[in-house]
Amino acid sequence: MVEPCARVQHVARSIHPNWIWRRARAALETEHNQSVRPMSILKPFGTELSVAVFGAGGGIGGALVDVLQSETSVERIYALSHNELEGLGKKSTGIEFDMLDEASIVKAAAVISKDGPLHLAIVATGFLHNNTVGPEKRMKDLGGDNMEHLFRINTVGPAIIAKHILPLFAKDRQSLFAALSARVGSISDNKLGGWHSYRASKAALNMVIRTLSIEMAYRNPRSICVALHPGTVDTQLSGPFQGNLSFQKVFTPDHSATRLLEVVAGLTPKSTGGFFAWDGQQIPY
């Protein structure tokens, strides 16, 4: 995901008196999950899978790459990030890309296509705030530049990625394209208001996914296109907004990544076009 500046990181930590405990808990949970994790979460998709994770430099994206690394059914992982990634596993190939530059996405897709068909692609990018602008609380906080920036990253970017990645999908077996959305992007679930630009950009992303799913059902009947809600995850994106949440309501990236892949494994082409939470429940648009 797009990372906030050091100032925002400092603010996020300052409102978390138990920040160090959360880091320790995340490390323990990662170790525990690695010891009890099933041999293959993605077994329904077959073997020798090629998987692409866009936003692998973010909290959830990085955790997805780590979990996929231990999957026996996964042969290749393309870890795509705005910056060069270090410490990738043997299965992973790092690819730098800029989601605001379509030429960059075209170049990344060309690299992926050289190794054959793609079976899964997950877009784990997203933007909520930076050091100067946060989510709007009232309509008077709305600004055109900020709203346009959120739409560029949260809606346009994933749509352009899909444009160049979906044609690479295998047609001889089940394949999946997923983008991380957010429950606050559900129009029917909006009871609190606020966060205008973020809500709107995620609602628009949901519409993009729904529309892609209809076209892909004709072009590639075994494909699945879905939006996923990862829950509230302990990352820099959500950091400043966790203050009133209990530990049980804030997931570590590893936990969220594992649950999302478990949800993905339970989907079929009949699920295409849906919006699913980390617990498998379908969220109304």
pLDDT band at residue 134 using 50, 70 and 90 as cut-offs: confident
Is 243 among the domain residues?
yes
Identify the pLDDT of residue 135: 87
**C-alpha of 158 from chain center:** 10
d(CA 127, CA 125): 7
The answer to whether residue 284 is domain-embedded is: no
Is residue 270 in some structural domain? yes
Provide the 8-state DSSP code for 112.
H
* pTM for the predicted model, two decimal places: 0.82
Contact 46, 273 (CB under 8 A): no
The answer as to whether 180 is a domain residue is yes
Q: Is 282 a domain residue? A: no
- Which of 12-16, 25-29, 167-171, 187-191 has the least mean pLDDT? 12-16
User: Is pLDDT of 34 > 90?
Assistant: no
Q: Is the pLDDT of residue 149 over 80?
A: yes
Among 95-99, 211-215, 242-246, whose mean pLDDT is lowest?
242-246
- Overall domain count for the chain: 1
Q: Is there a domain that residue 285 lies in?
A: no
Query: Which residue carries 């519409």 as its tokens?
Result: 207
Residue 208 is which amino acid? V
Residues in Cβ contact with 5 at an 8 Å cutoff, skipping those fewer than 6 apart: 130, 131
Categorise residue 232: left if φ over 0, alpha if ψ from -120 to 50, beta otherwise. beta
189-193 — which CB contacts under 8 Å span 24+ positions? 189/283, 189/284
Cα-based torsion angle of the residue sequence 178, 180, 182, 183 in order, rounded to the nearest 10 degrees: 30
Estimate the crossing angle of helix 102-113 against helix 157-165, to 10 degrees: 30
Tell how far CA 132 is from the center of its chain: 24
Mean pLDDT confidence for 14-43: 52
Please tell me the distance from the alpha carbon of residue 277 to that of residue 41, in angstroms, as a whole number: 17
Of 64-68, 75-79, 132-136, which range is least confident?
132-136
Q: In terms of residue numbers, what domain contains 68?
A: 6-35+42-277
Q: Residue 21 maps to which CATH number?
A: 3.40.50.720
Contacts of 154 (CB under 8 A, 6+ apart): 125, 126, 127, 198, 201, 202, 204, 205
Q: Is the pLDDT of residue 9 over 50?
A: no
- Return the minimum-mean-pLDDT range out of 74-83, 220-229, 238-247, 268-277: 238-247
List pLDDT tens digits, range 223-262: 999 999 998 876 554 444 444 433 446 788 999 999 999 9
User: Among 122-131, 135-144, 234-243, which stretch is predicted with the lowest mean pLDDT?
Assistant: 234-243
Whether residue 246 is contained in a domain is answered as: yes
Question: Does residue 179 surpass a pLDDT of 70?
Answer: yes
Q: Considering the domain boundaries, does residue 283 fall inside one?
A: no
